[in-house]
């Protein structure tokens, strides 16, 4: 059976207390609009996690954008998966390319973070993706599958892990791969998951991320083995995000 799609918003370092209005607007869209055949997730900054978790309706899950590998201790400025759970969140993004690039996070570290997420009974969204030079040199699949292999722990299940394929060059640039290119990478990830986890490999959700917007969502989401989206910029405004969720509404 095809995994149920997930449309996830990654707010990155955006959002103030006043942004709760967007959460409320999204709640109304989901309640009043046609039912969408997907799960919906918002990942605000840490400062808004508990506010959003308390305010969100049952239609919207809340997640964090990163966590530390340890549960607690002398790690100034860091946040643990236990704290995230305590704040009421259900998901944690790990290994986003901005973390890998800005904070030098390796796939080995990302795997440790995913384990920390699972230890709290939360779902990890493990991000992978090639740079533009990887793609130009024909190394997309090698890089992406290498990250999948090294970033995902052995003990995962489709219930606690989501994979997000985000080509680094497509993030925040307005550029996207073709549907064929997306399908090629997603199918390769699917095959790697099946090879490693057997039949369960078919049940993992594999999200596409990178410049998803209302105008291209339906097409990108139609690609083989795409089970939803991880959305940055276009998730900040409820009307745009709802327009992406439309890809999972009958029209
Ligand atoms: P974007 O970001 O939608 O703004 O390209 C996607 C992401 O980084 O998750």
- Over the stretch 89-98, which tens digit does the pLDDT of each residue have? 999 999 999 9
**Nearest residue (CA) to ligand 1, atom 6:** 232
pLDDT at res. 71 = 98
How far, in Å, is the centroid of ligand 1 from the Cα of 1? 28
Q: Report whether residue 228 contacts ligand 1, using a CB cutoff of 6 Å.
A: no
Per-residue confidence (pLDDT) for residue 182, from 0 to 100: 98
Predicted confidence (pLDDT) per residue in 186-222, tens digit: 999 999 999 999 999 999 999 999 999 999 999 999 9
d(CA 124, CA 111): 10
Q: Record the pTM.
A: 0.98
For the CA of 230, the closest atom of ligand 1 is 9
The yes-or-no verdict on residue 251 having pLDDT over 70 is: no
Ligand 1 proximity of 10 Cβ (cutoff 6 Å): yes
* Ligand 1 geometric centre to CA of 107 (Å): 20
Among the atoms of ligand 1, which is closest to the Cα of residue 170?
5
Site of tokens 């959700």: 205
In tens, the pLDDT along 37-82 reads 999 999 999 999 999 999 999 999 999 999 999 999 999 999 999 9
Predicted confidence (pLDDT) per residue in 216-245, tens digit: 999 999 999 999 999 999 999 999 999 999
Residue 245's φ and ψ, nearest 5 degrees, are -60, -30
Cα(230) to centroid(ligand 1), Å: 7
Whether 234 and 8 have beta carbons less than 8 Å apart is answered as no
Q: Mean pLDDT over residues 134-139, rounded?
A: 98
Q: How confident is the model at residue 250 (pLDDT cuts 50, 70, 90)?
A: confident
Query: Whose CA is closest to atom 1 on ligand 1?
Result: 232
Burial class (CB in 10 A: 0-12, 13-18, 19+), 237: middle
- CATH homologous superfamily of 5-11+36-248 equals Aldolase class I (3.20.20.70)
Select from 99, 232, 244 the residue to mutate for testing ligand 1; criterion: most ligand atoms less than 8 Å from CB: 232
Residue 219 Rama label (left phi>0; alpha psi -120 to 50; beta): alpha
Q: Which residues are catalytic?
A: 96, 166
Q: Is the pLDDT of residue 1 over 80?
A: no
pLDDT of residue 213: 98
The position carrying tokens 């790690």 is 75
């Amino acid at each position: 059976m095809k995994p149920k799609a997930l449309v996830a918003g990654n707010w990155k370092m955006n959002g103030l207390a006043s942004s709760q209005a967007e959460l409320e607007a999204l709640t109304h869209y989901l309640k009043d609009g046609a039912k969408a055949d997907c799960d919906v997730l918002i990942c605000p900054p840490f400062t808004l996690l508990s506010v959003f978790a308390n305010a969100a309706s049952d239609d919207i899950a809340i997640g964090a954008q990163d966590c530390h590998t340890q549960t607690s201790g002398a790690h100034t400025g860091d946040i643990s998966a236990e704290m995230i759970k305590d704040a009421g969140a259900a998901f944690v993004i790990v290994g986003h390319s901005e973390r890998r690039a800005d904070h030098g996070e390796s796939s080995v570290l990302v795997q440790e973070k995913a384990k920390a997420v699972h230890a709290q009974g939360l779902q990890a969204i493990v991000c992978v993706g090639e740079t533009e030079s990887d793609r130009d040199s024909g190394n997309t699949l090698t890089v992406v599958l290498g990250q999948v292999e090294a970033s995902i722990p052995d003990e995962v299940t489709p219930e606690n892990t989501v994979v997000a394929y985000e080509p680094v060059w497509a993030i925040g640039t307005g550029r996207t791969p073709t549907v064929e290119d997306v399908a090629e990478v997603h199918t390769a990830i699917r095959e790697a998951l099946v090879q490693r986890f057997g039949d369960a490999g078919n049940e993992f959700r594999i999200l596409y991320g990178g410049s998803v917007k209302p105008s291209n969502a339906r097409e990108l989401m139609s690609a083989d083995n795409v089970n939803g989206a991880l959305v940055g910029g276009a998730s900040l405004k409820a009307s745009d995000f709802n327009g992406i969720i439309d890809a999972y509404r009958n029209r």
